[in-house]
Structure 1
Amino acid sequence: MTTMVATATPTVRVNVIRYAALTAKVLLFALLLSALIWPDLSGIKGKASTARLIVYPIGAMALPLWWWAYGRARSKLHDRYPWPADLLMTLPWLIDLIGNRLNLFDTVNWWDDAMHFILWGFLTAGVLLAFAPRNLSRGLTAFVALGFGATAAVVWEIGEYFAFVRNSTELQTAYTDTLGDLALGTLGALLAGLILYQTRARVAR
């Protein structure tokens, strides 16, 4: 009986995470569709809405598309489809859209800073879970997390600048805001890498 319970528990956990990842994707695409139908209510009008409508689906589907193209062929060397990574790589896009829909970025002073820290942590953890070898040392895990997180943060800020910041009232404070966003995103990525290392080390014991 004990063995059956121990076997069933991981299966239940995997199913919960899988359904959570699928639900997050459904909600994300529902919000994107509603932004196309009712752009004035989307919360992203005037905030590079066209770019977001392109980038967000790509971000959410990058891992499934990679798995379909390459991951399945290496399934004997890897675990089954990485649903935890999928969930972590979908949540940043979904939470950002929800935050914009509820106008939290413009009405809550600390919301933007918190999102750069937390969402970059989610994204980095998801990428490392999906693609980084499990046997990386703590130092290498930190370097990989920093490398991905900092690079992604820079690309995001450059995209924001050319997409809408340079033609908006935010340009006056863009330099200070960008530096803060880069720092928070990088720190979030580093923390995510360290937490992932500790989690993997504890599971491996």
Structure 2
Amino acid sequence: MAPRPVLLRWAPPLVLALTVAQLAVAQWVPGIERFEGKAFGARLLLYPLLMLAVPAAWWWRARRRPPADRTVPYAAFTLVMLPFLVDVTGNSLDLYDAVVWWDDLNHLVNWMLLTAGLGLLVGPAVRPRWALGLMLTGLGALLAVGWELGEWFTFIRHGTELSDAYTDTLGDLALGTLGSLVAALMVTKVLYRAPLRH
């Protein structure tokens, strides 16, 4: 049983390192066409900051707790960070252009991962169960809106994807929210194994 916590402890830094390495290649290795016009300079700055925001907030709150109550939620941190790695890897492997349905699957699955990670962090403090489900779904939808605004601002408004951005954005928002709903249902099922009480 000892190896499992060690593996979990290394999962968030490994996900961060793999993401940053691919971002660095996209930004600084010239001549890779699939990276052009996709704001990898902004991503190289913002992705690591966003990936570290949740662990930093957790550490800031945890310092006030007694040491016995500071079990580090490595699995939740990893889930929150994985969508950034999936996004960058999709670009590195040219999946956004080569696989028609990749972008749609990406939004669905990444929002499931992100919402599940956030749910594992905040879920134990939220009662009743339906409130946790609504909160996580709403939070996921809000983050999906923020993500789409970020995409529009960084590379869509002056890029080649502007003509079909409206339809794509609506689909991405719907899939992101659906992914958040699925994650919310899974997290509430895991955290509330007892029967629902009204």
Give me the TM-score of the superposition, normalised by structure 2: 0.88
Indicate conservation of the 8 Å contact 1:59/1:89, yes or no: no
Kindly indicate whether residue 164 of structure 2 is the aligned counterpart of residue 173 of structure 1. yes
* 1:160 maps to amino acid: E
* 2:117 maps to amino acid: G
- Percent identity over the alignment is 42
Unaligned runs of 5+ in 2: none
* 1:14 maps to amino acid: P
* 2:71 maps to amino acid: R
Kindly indicate whether residue 1 of structure 2 is the aligned counterpart of residue 28 of structure 1. no
* 2:16 maps to amino acid: K
Which range moved further: 195-204 or 77-86? 195-204
Kindly indicate whether residue 37 of structure 2 is the aligned counterpart of residue 46 of structure 1. yes
Cross-structure match for 1:4:
none
Q: 2:8 aligns with which of 9, 17, 31?
A: 17
Measured at CA, do residues 187 and 39 of structure 1 come closer, stay the same or move farther in structure 2, by a change above 3 Å? farther
Which range moved further: 159-168 or 86-95? 159-168
* 2:46 maps to amino acid: V
Cross-structure match for 1:5:
none
1:10-159 residue pairs with structure 2 within 5 A?
Answer: 11-41=2-32, 43-75=34-66, 78-159=69-150
Measured at CA, do residues 169 and 42 of structure 1 come closer, stay the same or move farther in structure 2, by a change above 3 Å? closer
Tell me how large the CA RMSD over aligned residues is: 2.2
Distance 1:38 1:150 in 2: 35
Measured at CA, do residues 115 and 144 of structure 1 come closer, stay the same or move farther in structure 2, by a change above 3 Å? same
Which range moved further: 169-178 or 66-75? 66-75
Distance 1:21 1:46 in 2: 28
DSSP-derived class of the 1:100 partner:
helix
Number of aligned residue pairs: 195
Distance 1:158 1:14 in 2: 37
Distance 1:82 1:88 in 2: 10
